[in-house]
Amino acid sequence: MLLDPVGRRISCGKERATVRYVGHVSPYEGLWLGVEWDNPERGKHDGSHEGVQYFTCRNPKGGSFVRPQKASFGVDFLTAVYLTYQTNAEEVLNEEIFISSKKLEWFVVEEKRFENLPSVVLNHCDVNGAGVAGEIRKTTPNVQWLDLSGSLLSTWKDVAAITEQLDKLEGLQLSVNRISLTSDPWAHRQAFSNLKLLALNNCDFTWLQILECAPMWPRLEDLSLENNNIRELHRPEGVLQTLKSLNLSCNPLMQESVSRLSSLPRLEWLNLSNTKLSIIQLEDATQATCTDVFPALKNLNLDHNNISEWSMVNELAKLPCLVKLSCRDNKLVSSDGNPKTVNQMLIAKLGHLLYLNNSEISFEERKGAELDYIKMFGEEWLKAGGADQPSTAFTCQHPRYQMLIEKYGAPEEGELKKPEPFALKNQLINITFVFPDDADREPISKKLPASMVVQKIKGLLHRLLKIPPADLRLTYTSHKVSGTEFPIDSDLKTLHFYSVEDGDQVLVRWS
């Protein structure tokens, strides 16, 4: 055991922890380690026993006492290299290893020669430090990519002691670690002087802690901070100015603070997926004009959020360089309830967009989306003043509409798509489900919203009939037209789209 293990990292089987106490625990004999687990569900208490507080934990159930002999304090860097690249070489060569989105290739080592290793992958190898001074530089001088995720490194000083000997290092994976802050980040600046890519996923950092560490990374271009403890963002004054890519996915962000990143001059790719965002408000932006915020942003990921307001999409239209947007699994809706219409509206509102949801937007797709957009809101445009001068309220909701009119011309009266009444989603119609291929099954009557999509209707029938939705085939007959079955052939269309009315019958068949 180390002479002063408090603050050091240990592993117990597959679990990782930080030592918070070393000593006796009454009434038991012998030494104990008081540890705070990375996984609080592994613990039993908050560092106290029988009324005595031996150490503290952030989580009330995050602590335990363990015997020193059950804890591993790990090995130095080169020992881990020898063990991994020779003892386990055949096993690990079959693994695919990534740092950020870049795949690393394993390098076959022969006769304990490591001079030509371009990458070293030591994820979960319990590395605890650099070992003998200068030996890493002698042994692995050409390493450009290093994976130390799930290590037992406890301080940035420990990390720097390794990286300062790797003069060519450009990519560093430090995910699934608990690294304490340094009092003087500038002292370690040389150790990361060539670093361009850094992954700190699942490290429990806050954004302020990242900004405190940022002076160590003067040339950083790609920073991944997925699944940390980042809530409020602050302006990165004087740091991270070289950043081109930033991943903040799976952090519970305060949405009003996102625009504080907008001054990053080179940021091209921003991942805000799974962050519970509902609104992005660009600061210092005037309506329908490009802004100087996010001046280089090309690629934005907003998947799996709570975005429901089209006004937020209008804000994105102000970004002058945005060409790629992913906005899947949000709450944006169109009047017809069709997700394809939502995508059309996104394309029409964002004139610079070249890719939506990872699919390239063709010339024909853009033209169709913009023409449909003109027709969709044509009646509203006419009521707002039309060609003379649309009202300010209409222009705020549809900043590109007048531009599209100039591009394609004003819509004819017969081309206008009448908007569905707002109350449609609350309008219930009585439908009878009949089963022509099952004479013994009684018809089922239901009152359903006219805005209900076919996909949900099939889900309802699945619960009633225990038939997989994919096997169900639907048609309907109108009480106004005798002897004709009309197909219901799209799961994404609504009952209203198919003109199903109160009193009609839906015929249900399955294979």
Q: Percentage helix, strand, coil, to 5, in the chain?
A: 25, 20, 55
In the predicted model, is pLDDT for residue 440 greater than 50?
Answer: yes
User: Residue for token digits 């309830």?
Assistant: 337
In the predicted model, is pLDDT for residue 289 greater than 80?
Answer: no
Measured CA distances, 46 to 7, 62, 84, 198, 485 (Å): 16, 6, 36, 33, 68
In sequence order, what are the residues at sequence separation of 6 or more whose Cβ sits closer than 8 angstroms to the Cβ of residue 321?
268, 294, 295, 296, 297, 298, 352
- The mean-pLDDT minimum among 92-96, 129-133, 153-157, 495-499 falls in 92-96
What's the rounded Cα separation, in Å, for the pair 459 and 62?
43
Cis ω before 411 (30° cut-off from 0): no
- Cβ atoms of 95 and 81 closer than 8 Å: no
In sequence order, what are the residues at sequence separation of 6 or more whose Cβ sits closer than 8 angstroms to the Cβ of residue 80?
122, 125, 126, 127
pLDDT at 134 (0 to 100): 94
pLDDT tens, position by position, 361-419: 999 999 999 999 999 999 899 888 887 788 999 999 999 999 999 999 887 765 565 55
For residues 20 and 478, which has the higher predicted lDDT (pLDDT)? 20
Q: Strand ranges (DSSP E) for 276-404? A: 299-301, 324-326, 355-356, 359-360
In eight-state DSSP terms, residue 491 is T
pLDDT tens, position by position, 128-152: 999 999 999 999 999 999 999 999 9
In the predicted model, is pLDDT for residue 109 greater than 50?
Answer: no
pLDDT at 15 (0 to 100): 92
pLDDT at 203 (0 to 100): 96
Mean pLDDT of the chain: 88
Amino acid at residue number 401: Y
Handedness of CA 35, 183, 174, 118 (dihedral sign): negative
CATH number for domain 74-230, candidates 3.30.70.660, 3.90.400.10, 3.80.10.10, 1.10.520.10: 3.80.10.10
Instruction: Give exposure, 377-407, as e/b (b: 16+ Cβ within 10 Å).
Output: bbbbbeebeeeeebeeebbebbbbbbebbee
- Cβ atoms of 151 and 90 closer than 8 Å: no
Instruction: Give exposure, 139-177, as e/b (b: 16+ Cβ within 10 Å).
Output: bbeebbbbbbbbbbbbbbbbbbbbbbbbeebbbbbbbbb
pLDDT at 98 (0 to 100): 54
In the predicted model, is pLDDT for residue 46 greater than 80?
Answer: yes
What's the rounded Cα separation, in Å, for the pair 129 and 161?
7
Instruction: Quickly name the fold that domain 423-510 has.
Output: Ubiquitin-like (UB roll) (3.10.20)
CATH 2.30.30.190, applies to 9-70: yes
What's the rounded Cα separation, in Å, for the pair 279 and 380?
25
pLDDT tens, position by position, 197-244: 999 999 999 999 999 999 999 999 999 999 998 999 999 999 999 999
For residues 135 and 105, which has the higher predicted lDDT (pLDDT)? 135
Q: Cβ-count burial of 83 within 10 angstroms (0-12 exposed, 13-18 middle, 19+ buried)? A: middle
Comparing 74-230 with 232-244+264-360, is the CATH topology the same? yes
- Name the helix (H) or strand (E) containing 505: strand 505-510
pLDDT at 108 (0 to 100): 43
Helix (H, G, I), strand (E, B) or coil at 22: strand
pLDDT tens, position by position, 290-321: 457 899 999 999 999 999 999 999 999 999 99
In eight-state DSSP terms, residue 214 is G
What's the rounded Cα separation, in Å, for the pair 196 and 218?
9
User: Residue for token digits 């060409």?
Assistant: 323
What's the rounded Cα separation, in Å, for the pair 181 and 197?
19
Look up the CATH architecture of domain 232-244+264-360: Alpha-Beta Horseshoe (3.80)
Q: What percent of the chain clears pLDDT 90, i.e. is strictly above it?
A: 69
Identify the band that residue 104 occupies on the pLDDT scale cut at 50, 70 and 90. Answer: low
- Cβ atoms of 61 and 44 closer than 8 Å: yes
- Cβ atoms of 471 and 510 closer than 8 Å: yes
Query: How many CA atoms are closer than 13 Å to the CA of 288, on its beta-carbon side?
Result: 12
Neighbours of 366 (CB within 10 A): 17
- The mean-pLDDT minimum among 191-200, 431-440, 494-503 falls in 494-503
CA-based R_g, the chain, Å: 30
**What ranges do the domains of the chain cover?**
9-70, 74-230, 232-244+264-360, 366-415, 423-510
pLDDT at 338 (0 to 100): 85
Neighbours of 317 (CB within 10 A): 18
